[in-house]
Amino acid sequence: MSKGFMERGLEIHSPRMWDFAQVINALDFIEQYGMTSLIFHENELIDRVVFPEKYYTMEYMWKRFGPRYSRTLNKRYYLNNVIDECHKRGIKFIAEVKEIYFDEWIIELHPEVINPRTHRLCPSHPFWLEYMEAKMDEFLKYVPDVDGVIVSPGTRESKLSIVANKCGCDLCSNSNDAEWIGKILKIMNDKLTAKGKFLVVRDFAFNAEDQTIILEGAKMTSKDIIIALKYTPHDYFPTFPTNPAIGKSGQEEWVEFDVWGQFIGNGVFPVSLVEDFKSRMKEIHDKGVKGVWFRTDWENMDDHCVFNSPNILNLIAGAMLSRDINTDVDEIYREWTRFGMLSPLKSASFIQKPVPVTSESKYTRLRDFMRASWNIMQKTVFVRGLVFQDNSMFPSTMERGFGIMLDIMSLDSWQPEASKKVEPTLENLEIIFEEKRQAVQESQKLAEILDADSLGLPEDIAFDLKDMMDIYTYYTRCFELAAKACFWCRRAEITCDMEDRDKTLKVLDEIREYIPLLKERITRRTYTHEIRRLIDYKRFEELIRNINEHLDKVNFK
């Protein structure tokens, strides 16, 4: 008996959404795999298509903001055109935003929103509720056929929120944050449901406390609001446990997945999440989740997405499993070979035509390659399951590396005392460095596993795959060196031992020797900027300076 999810969405999160050819490509995929919705995710999406006119009169717009007037109208026509195309195909269109968002010029018109004592914006000022009313009215007036809205309310990534932007006034200091979120949600939900639309409240929290606030705000607003959660808490880290909040809201729930790889190689270094997705989807389906959707790119990465990566496998897996969680894993890999291979070294603006593998029996070679690549990736960008990366880049400072791992992206909120596994004890360091050594060693064997020339692919795709695998060996080596430098320095700061200092300096010498190799590697061909980003020698130059600064502050014995 097949088991699936009622809602199955594809999300575009980057500026690709404003390229109609990219949208048509995504809609073709949605139709092909029986998905139900297209999601445009941009923090300021509503503000792209409204002024609002309540504050920006025509006279005022022409006097001050002529270009913005024209740009807003153009975006409005574009968005309505996309929605029409979706509906022709029987596909829903959903706008995903973070609120409160606003055009800075609103502050010029309403300076009372600034706390005169602290000179900070006040999220508790009653004007913002009036503003949200006006914005939602205008959005639904000019984009009347939108099917629903997904909102992340009051997160650290919202432009103005009670969670991150309290101004210091009495209202902010004494606020019930869940009630503040609830007021924003009530405005949005009332406006949407009056027009037969739906609201999805997306939990996006950096810790368990923030998560509770957002869910409380939604639950106190309306039982009809759909609750959306990431499949792992806070972000898309496959080494993290399944989000413990899933299945507990008492309301309809949707869960989102990343198929591109923001934190696992940015789609340049392809990895399989097929087995992980199957396990997670079965788990959340058993918990009563009704919908899932799949993010195909990232807002902060231009010109890159899952449609220019072998990681299209993960989107295919998501689409197939979301229709039937009992889908055989090998059938997913077979379908990927039928769908076709994509080069990981071409930009998203180059819309590739997937090239099927000529012999379907080759799926086992591709399957084994993608699985092996994931095993390498998890040993590269994570340290014993904890996040040791900056959106797939190796750390460029001690503060960034350990700050992300132990604070910003901490696993401790979800697995208490997980950070003890990365304390710089000699026992831990041996395990950490062996993990990184294995990643380097295994990356050097990937080409043999894939044997790209045997797949019957066009010469350019086969060449790109082989070139990518060579770059992969540089990538894993970068993380090995960065981990050794950071962890030896961390230990030296604690022990004040000259031996630990010398080991740190020895690694810095290795990095200096490696920098010229990285400089040369990125100049061999014309690459997308992503290659320069992932093996950026300048990050090592910064890391050397930073670690030396740390060592200079230590009183060594």
Q: Tell me the C-alpha distance between 312 and 271, whole Å.
A: 10
pLDDT of 210 above 60: no
**Residue-wise pLDDT tens digits, 419-459:** 999 999 999 999 999 999 999 999 999 999 999 999 999 99
Residue 148 has a pLDDT of 98
> What angle is formed at CA 329 by the lines to CA 328 and CA 334, rounded to 5 degrees?
95
DSSP 406: I
Q: Is residue 234 scored above 70 in pLDDT? A: yes
Half-sphere exposure of 417 (CA within 13 A, CB side): 0
The predicted pLDDT at position 418 comes to 96
Question: Cβ distance 494 to 424 under 8 Å?
Answer: yes
User: Is residue 417 in some structural domain?
Assistant: yes
pLDDT value of position 208: 58
Of 377, 432, 413, residue with least CA distance to 262? 377
Indicate whether 557 belongs to any domain. no
**pLDDT band with cut points at 50, 70 and 90 for residue 221:** confident
> Which pLDDT value is given to residue 404?
96
As a whole number of Å, the end-to-end CA separation of the chain is 69
DSSP single-letter state for residue 237 = -
pLDDT band at residue 146 under the 50/70/90 scheme: very high
pLDDT one-digit tens code per residue, 499-540: 999 999 999 999 999 999 999 999 999 999 999 999 999 999
Residue 148 neighbours by CB under 8 Å, 6+ apart: 92, 94, 95, 192, 197, 198, 199, 200
Give tens-digit pLDDT for 265-290: 999 999 999 999 999 999 999 999 99
Average pLDDT rounded to a whole number, residues 328-337: 96
Residue 412 CB-density burial (10 A; 0-12 exposed, 13-18 middle, 19+ buried): middle
Helices and strands of the chain, counted as H and E runs: 20, 10
**Of the residues 191, 224, 257, which one is the last residue of a structural domain?**
224
pTM over 0.85: yes
CB 210 within 8 A of CB 188: no
Out of 189, 207, 224, pick the residue that ends a domain. Answer: 224
- Closest by alpha carbon to 34, among 314, 230, 321? 321
The DSSP secondary structure of 165-230, one letter per residue, reads ---SSHHHHT--HHHHHHHHHHHHHHHHHHTT-EEEEEP--SSHHHHHHHHHHHHTT-TTSEEEEE
Average pLDDT rounded to a whole number, residues 468-474: 98
The band of 206, judged by pLDDT with boundaries at 50, 70 and 90, is: low
Ranges of beta strands (E only) in 363-411 are 382-383, 386-387
More confident residue, 28 or 104: 28
Confidence of residue 157 (pLDDT cuts 50, 70, 90): confident
Cβ within 8 Å of residue 190, ≥6 positions away: none
Helix, coil or strand: residue 434: helix
- What pLDDT does residue 69 have? 87
pLDDT tier, 205 (very low <50, low <70, confident <90, very high otherwise)? low
Name the band, by pLDDT with cuts 50, 70 and 90, for residue 81.
Answer: very high
Does residue 315 lie within any of the structural domains?
no
Using the predicted structure, report yes or no on whether residue 214 has a pLDDT greater than 80: no
Rounded CA separation 372/368 (Å) = 6
Q: Which of 195, 224, 253 is the last residue of a domain?
A: 224
Mean pLDDT, the chain, whole residue set: 94
Count of structural domains, the chain: 2
Name the H helices within 249-362: 274-286, 312-323, 329-339
Residue 337 lies in a domain: no
Q: Which of 102-111, 203-212, 306-315 has the lowest mean pLDDT?
A: 203-212
Q: Which domain holds residue 411?
A: 369-552
Q: How far apart are CA 38 and CA 160, in angstroms?
A: 27
How far is it, in rounded angstroms, from Cα 65 to Cα 557?
64
The dihedral built from the CA positions of residue 178, 179, 180 and 185, taken in this order, carries a sign that is positive
Q: Does the residue 250 lie in any domain?
A: no
Q: Residue 465 carries which side chain, given as an amino acid letter?
A: L
Q: Are 243 and 230 in contact (CB under 8 A)?
A: yes
308 three-state secondary structure: helix
pLDDT at 383: 98
More confident residue, 96 or 358: 96
Res 66: pLDDT: 79
Note whether 502 and 407 are within 8 A (CB): no
CA gap 135, 282 in Å, rounded? 39
**Residue 47 counted as domain residue:** yes
What DSSP character marks residue 114? B
The Cα–Cα gap between 210 and 162 comes to 11
Instruction: Over range 35-43, report the average pLDDT.
Output: 97
Q: What's the pLDDT at 520?
A: 97
Answer whether 228's CB lies under 8 Å from 203's CB: yes
Q: Cα(293)–Cα(228) distance, rounded to whole angstroms?
A: 10
pLDDT of residue 557: 84
Instruction: Please state, in angstroms and as integers, the Cα–Cα distance from residue 235 to each residue in 258, 275, 490, 493, 519, following that order.
Output: 9, 19, 26, 30, 32
Is 94 contained in some domain?
A: yes
- Within 8 A by CB and 6+ apart from 377, the residues are 264, 265, 269, 271
Determine the Cα–Cα distance for residues 517 and 162; give it in Å rounded to an integer. Answer: 48
Share of the chain above pLDDT 70, in %: 98
CA distance 430 to 66: 62
Domain for residue 343, yes or no? no
